[in-house]
Amino acid sequence: MPVGVAVLDDWGFDFEKAEPIENQRMTVLNATSLDVIAHETFADIKQQYGHAALTFHRVDLHHGLRDLATGPEGEHHSWGQPASLHCGNAVITIDCDRGTLELASGEVMKKDLLIIADGAHSDLYSQFTGEPDPIKRIGKSLYRILLNHAEVLSNPNTAHLLTSYPTAHKGFFSALDPVDGAYTITYPCRSQSPVLNVAIVHNTKPSPEASSNERAEKSWQSPASIAEVLGTIHNYHPDFKALISLGKDDDDIKIHHAMRRPPLKSFASGRALVIGDAAHLMMPTHAAGASMAIESAGVLEVLMRDVTADSPAEVIQERLKIFDRLRVPRCTAFQILSNEGWMSQAQPEVVAQIREQGFHGWLPGPDAGPWSAEFRKWYFNHDARAEAKQALRILKDEE
Ligand SMILES: Cc1cc2nc3c(=O)[nH]c(=O)nc-3n(C[C@H](O)[C@H](O)[C@H](O)COP(=O)(O)OP(=O)(O)OC[C@H]3O[C@@H](n4cnc5c(N)ncnc54)[C@H](O)[C@@H]3O)c2cc1C
Q: Is 26 in the pocket of ligand 1 (CB under 6 A)?
A: no
Please give the angle made by the CA atoms of 378, 382 and 383, to the nearest 5 degrees: 175
271 and 96 in contact (C-beta within 8 Å)?
A: yes
> What pLDDT, on a 0 to 100 scale, did the predictor assign at position 370?
83
SS (H, E, C) 76-124: CCCCCCCCCCCCCCCEEEEECCCCEEEECCCCEEECCCEEECCCCCCCC
Domain assignment of residue 234, yes or no: yes
**Helix 2-10 with 289-304: angle, nearest 10 deg:** 40
124 and 94 in contact (C-beta within 8 Å)?
A: yes
Q: Is 288 in the pocket of ligand 1 (CB under 6 A)?
A: yes
Q: Select from 55, 200, 220, 277 the residue to mutate for testing ligand 1; criterion: most ligand atoms less than 8 Å from CB.
A: 277
Cα 242 to chain center, whole Å?
29
Number of domains making up the chain: 1
Q: Is 295 in the pocket of ligand 1 (CB under 6 A)?
A: no
Domain assignment of residue 205, yes or no: yes
Q: Which domain holds residue 179?
A: 136-260
CA-closest candidate to residue 276, choices 118, 113, 59, 384: 118
Give the SS3 label for residue 75.
coil
Domain assignment of residue 333, yes or no: no
Q: Select from 55, 118, 137 the residue to mutate for testing ligand 1; criterion: most ligand atoms less than 8 Å from CB.
A: 118
User: What separation in Å is there between the alpha carbon of 319 and the centre of ligand 1?
Assistant: 25
pLDDT digits (tens, 9 = 90+) for 274-328: 999 999 999 988 889 999 999 999 999 999 999 988 999 999 999 999 999 999 9
51 and 184 in contact (C-beta within 8 Å)?
A: no
Domain assignment of residue 228, yes or no: yes
Mean per-residue pLDDT of the chain: 91
Domain assignment of residue 149, yes or no: yes
Domain assignment of residue 239, yes or no: yes
Domain assignment of residue 243, yes or no: yes
Q: Is 277 in the pocket of ligand 1 (CB under 6 A)?
A: yes
Sign of the dihedral through C-alpha 391, 394, 396, 399: negative
Q: Is 142 in the pocket of ligand 1 (CB under 6 A)?
A: yes
Pick the residue with more confidence: 207 or 206? 206
Domain assignment of residue 166, yes or no: yes
Burial tier of 254 (Cβ tally within 10 Å: 0-12, 13-18, 19+): middle
Model confidence, pTM: 0.93
Q: Is 256 in the pocket of ligand 1 (CB under 6 A)?
A: yes
CA-closest candidate to residue 33, choices 200, 176, 227: 176
pLDDT digits (tens, 9 = 90+) for 332-385: 999 999 999 989 999 999 999 999 999 999 999 999 988 899 999 999 999 999
For residue 274, the cross-strand partners are: 116
